[in-house]
Structure 1
Amino acid sequence: MTNKRIRIGMEDSDGAKYDIKLEGNVTREKVLKIFEMMDLMNIEEEQPETTNMDSIGSKIWFIVDKFFPMGKFTSTNILEKYEDEFNEPIKLSIISTYLSRFASKGRVDRSRTGREWTYQTIKIRQKQELSSKK
Structure 2
Amino acid sequence: MAGKRIRIDLEDKDGAKYKFNLEGNINRDKVLKIFDLLDLMNIEETADNPGVESVGGKIWHIVDKYYPTGKFTSSDILEKYEDEFNEPIKLSVISTYLARFTSKNKVERAKKGREWAYHTLKLTNTAPKLSEN
Query: After TM superposition, is the score higher than 0.5?
Result: yes
Which residue number in structure 1 is paired with residue 47 of structure 2? 49
Which residue number in structure 1 is paired with residue 88 of structure 2? 89
Larger Cα-atom Rg: 2
Q: Structure 1, unaligned stretches of length 5 or more?
A: 1-46
Deviation readout 1:88-124 (Å, 9 max, x if unpaired): 000000000000010011000011011110000011x
User: Where does 1:20-99 land on structure 2 (aligned, <5 Å)?
Assistant: 48-50=46-48, 51-99=50-98
Q: Which runs of 4+ in 1 moved over 2 A?
A: none
**Whole-Å separation in 2 of the counterparts to 1:52 and 1:93:** 21
- Structure-1-length-normalised TM-score: 0.56
Q: What is the SS of the residue equivalent to 2:72?
A: coil
Q: Structure 2, unaligned stretches of length 5 or more?
A: 1-44, 127-133
Q: Which amino acid aligns with 1:48?
A: T
- Structure-2-length-normalised TM-score: 0.57
Which residue number in structure 2 is paired with residue 111 of structure 1? 110
**Whole-Å separation in 1 of the counterparts to 2:81 and 2:61:** 9
Identity of aligned residues (%): 61
Structure showing the higher helix proportion among its residues: 1
Q: Which amino acid aligns with 1:87?
A: N
TM-superposed CA distance for 1:52, in Å, is 2.2
